[in-house]
Structure 1
């Protein structure tokens, strides 16, 4: 008798915020274990049936149907199927600049890597869709979208009051405002004032609808615009910084590297080499 396992490995497609590296589903044999080991990515597991244990940080927890556990990068961990009723689970392996924040919003921490799900949340069905995407031409994008949906579902507080019917309108309005005014010196207060909401309520709407804060969305808009300008090779770093709403070039450079992973100059040079154009000379 062999354990049943299916994998999907994905190809990198340039996503930086959230990138799915692998997904899979497995029905384990009794006492089947993995570890102790260390991984270089996050791995989110959902238990469909059966039981097992997850050990990390000196703690061991028994996990059963409807629960999730998270493996964090560079953390020693072991997980083992039960002896009498071994578990079946599905998982996502992922990385990205937003990964840590999404994990936090979903209720996971290093000290609390296990959580349950409310019966009213469609987490089971979302994980069940994994292998159906195996042969889709754009499976990388579809799997990433599915993982965002899972995090968005998990981020909804159990005691959250029902959202008003017009919240979608407020979020779209704020998004449109940021897309139009990213080059201006705007912040959370100006965005909330534009849509007529309290700043805290606007932040909650963004977390529930987009799994990020308005500030994060505005930063992503500015960084995407900056990437486009850097690829065009027409402006200096300071000019690009001002073009996307940063008066301080050093602040822009720090934010760009934090978000994109490389400095603006390194990004521009890489784009130059890929396009075969001559380098931009600052005056």
Structure 2
């Protein structure tokens, strides 16, 4: 696209804007002339710029920053802004625009706010690759679902990079802080809840989390009132109860919950609930 104020300029529009929470509306790149200026102006969408080369200045809320390669600046809706290319080393940059009720919330969660919309220290090539991919997805127009999922997905990867760069700005309340032991128990619980169908070695799990089994078991029981073995059995049995309310066989229920031996599964189920899987299933049917 020709633009008399730029050595190079291009933009791709997203034709599919149906997601009220998050929409990537357009993306592009430009290499403006020296002293090329945008604003003062106000947008009704969020606009993220990443500087590839050169320098320029970004001004908002009576603040001004000189920016260069690896710097990112975000324009928020309703905020008066302007930005201008350097007279000697005019910048080149890429951008992505977003709308949706969750976008501001997502940015704020990683420390990008109206009062602090600048991120420094990015790898220009890495961020450029993400933004170029978003632009390519919009250009392809693969269809509503594919374009939306791809653009949203790459934007979330970009957010993750912003979060890493902004780590020193993120502040958590004391209620949000957890000890190493609490974090280890949380990881173990997530493992139990998602991998309950697999053989699980408490020794190996404790070692992978950096603990001896005895200490890990003690900490786990302090925080959950159950030993790791009791907890995984609880997860398995609750899942078994759910599956017994379906039409799959008792053996298939056992296999789905991490028991390859149906007799052992029946024994454990009776020990946990006081009745056999068959009796429990019959009770569900009667009720």
| d(CA) in 2 for partners of 1:65, 1:24 | 17
1:65 alignment partner, one of 60, 64, 69: 69
2:20 alignment partner, one of 16, 19, 22: 16
Q: Give the match for residue 5 of structure 1.
A: 9
1:151 alignment partner, one of 155, 159, 162: 159
Q: Secondary structure of the equivalent of 1:129?
A: helix
Q: Give the match for residue 48 of structure 1.
A: 52
The 3 A distance-change label for structure 1 pair 141 and 30 is same
Q: Secondary structure of the equivalent of 2:140?
A: coil
2:142 alignment partner, one of 128, 137, 140: 137
Cα displacement string for residues 30-57 of structure 1 (whole angstroms, at most 9, x for unaligned residues): 0011111110000011111111001110
State the shift of 1:171 in Å.
8.5
TM-score by length of 2: 0.53
Q: Give the match for residue 244 of structure 1.
A: none
The 3 A distance-change label for structure 1 pair 50 and 154 is same
Q: How many residues align?
A: 175
Are 2:87 and 1:83 aligned?
yes
| d(CA) in 1 for partners of 2:154, 2:80 | 27
TM-score by length of 1: 0.54
Alpha-carbon RMSD across the aligned residues, in angstroms, is 3.4
Greater Rg by CA = 2
State the shift of 1:65 in Å.
0.3
